């Protein structure tokens, strides 16, 4: 009875005054895990006899075996890093990921590519072994809070875990010591998908109402638009395989590399499927309700299938060349209409089979939606059919 009564206070002390060297025995590690919400992994740590010496030097491979899911693993890495930060100054000056640490002297910052309330992204040049590489550098403003730094560190952990992929903006490295935190990622020379769509939108789409567009002779670069969808589905398939939920999939968060290859970016809100959702609490801007899945909007539940819903809205953005989903409708209006089955209407120049894909993504029950590998296969088939049809018209 006494132990149960004092456990909350004991856990509070564990979370506030522990340093990494205070974890000595296996029991110390186990108690720390329980108080930090990792109780389901205690058995694995006991089985492998993870004591203080071992836990302070856990390799990524061993940690992945102990905690297979990305989200909880990233959370524990952050918790352990906090313990190390509470140690002496020599310990706290160590890089978060030595293999990914970039010397600040080798990085030159250039023009601002984008900025928000608490951070900004700059173009940069990274010099390594006599070779200069153009990169994008994500930093925090002086007004940023501790939570913002934690989010950026979380994004670093996710990018390290996710690894490289052709359709994901990949990590180049990071500056985590001797100055403000900076995340260095690959540079996308063709900018944001949303901007590309708007810049390449035929004027007739803005000047003609939907009823007349179909007969106006306006043509869209359909093969390129479908390729965008294929690229994004491919990148999201990789994230899904890594059990990572993006939670903010939209045209604004897709960048275009060489040859207009679509690359998913902005993992600041990414979380693992198994991590409890704090999306509403952690964002400092309004919830992007136009892209959010039904269950996420009403029940704050996030899974890969929630990203599938957002992918359907992203496809709608692509097929309208960057128009705003739901037009002038307010978030309150949308929340009233979605439970009654209301969904985005078919864009005037969108092929029916592409719109059918969108509708499948907007099924109310997540389990009734296609997976990202399914979506890629479907879009691959559609583009082949489109190319065959286009060749017959020549």
Which active-site residues does the annotation give? Answer: 248
Neighbours of 277 (CB within 10 A): 17
Cα separation, 35 vs 192, in Å, equals 42
CB contact at 8 A, 235 and 167 = yes
Residue given tokens 């030595």 in the structure block = 98
CB atoms within 10 A of CB 284: 10
Token representation of residue 359: 């509708």
The CA distance from 344 to 318, in Å, is 13
Distance CA 169, CA 183 (A): 12
Distance (Å, whole) CA 55 – CA 76: 11
- 34's CB contacts (< 8 A; 6+ apart) are 11, 42
DSSP designation for 130: T
138 annotated ligand-binding residue: yes
Whether residue 369 contacts residue 360, with contact meaning beta carbons closer than 8 Å, is answered with yes
Buried (b) or exposed (e) across 360-392, using 16+ Cβ within 10 A? bbbbeebeebbebeebbebbeebbeebeeeeee
Rounded to 5°, the CA angle 267-196-207 comes to 130
CA distance 138 to 179: 14
| Chain position carrying tokens 């491979």 | 61
Determine the Cα–Cα distance for residues 371 and 256; give it in Å rounded to an integer. Answer: 23
User: CA 193 to CA 363: how far, in whole Å?
Assistant: 25
Binding-site members for ATP are 138
């Amino acid at each position: 009875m006494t132990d149960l009564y004092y456990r909350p206070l004991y856990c509070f002390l564990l979370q506030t005054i522990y340093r990494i060297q205070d974890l000595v025995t296996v029991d110390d590690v186990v108690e720390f895990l329980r108080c930090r919400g990792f109780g389901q992994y205690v058995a694995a740590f006991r089985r492998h006899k993870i004591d203080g010496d071992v836990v302070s030097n856990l390799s990524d491979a061993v940690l992945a075996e102990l905690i297979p899911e990305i989200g909880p693993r990233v959370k524990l890495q952050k918790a352990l890093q906090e313990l190390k930060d509470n140690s002496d100054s020599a310990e706290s000056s160590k890089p978060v990921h030595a293999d990914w640490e970039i010397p600040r002297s080798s990085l030159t910052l250039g023009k601002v590519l984008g900025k928000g309330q608490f951070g900004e992204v700059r173009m940069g040049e990274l010099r390594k072994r006599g070779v200069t590489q153009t990169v994008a550098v994500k930093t925090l403003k002086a007004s940023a809070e501790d939570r913002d730094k934690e989010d950026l560190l979380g994004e670093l952990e996710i990018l390290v875990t996710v690894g490289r992929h052709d359709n994901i903006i990949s990590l180049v490295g990071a500056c985590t010591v001797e100055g403000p935190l900076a995340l260095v990622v690959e540079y996308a020379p063709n900018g944001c998908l949303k901007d590309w769509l708007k810049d390449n939108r035929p004027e007739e789409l803005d000047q003609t109402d939907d009823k007349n567009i179909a007969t106006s002779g306006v043509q869209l670069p359909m093969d390129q638009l479908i390729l965008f969808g294929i690229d994004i589905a491919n990148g999201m398939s990789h994230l899904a395989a890594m059990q990572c939920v993006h939670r903010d999939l939209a045209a604004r968060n897709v960048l275009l590399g060489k040859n207009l290859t679509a690359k998913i970016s902005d993992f600041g809100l990414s979380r693992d499927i198994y991590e409890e959702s704090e999306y509403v609490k952690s964002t400092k801007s309004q919830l992007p309700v136009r892209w959010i899945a039904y269950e996420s909007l009403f029940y704050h539940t996030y899974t890969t299938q929630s990203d599938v819903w957002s992918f359907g809205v992203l496809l709608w953005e692509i097929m309208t060349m960057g128009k705003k989903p739901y037009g002038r409708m307010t978030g309150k209006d949308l929340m009233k209409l979605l439970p009654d089955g209301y969904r985005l209407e078919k864009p005037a120049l969108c092929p029916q089979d592409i719109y059918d894909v969108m509708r499948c993504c907007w099924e109310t029950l997540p389990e009734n939606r296609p997976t990202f590998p399914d979506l890629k296969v479907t879009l691959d088939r559609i583009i082949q059919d489109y190319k065959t049809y286009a060749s017959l018209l020549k």
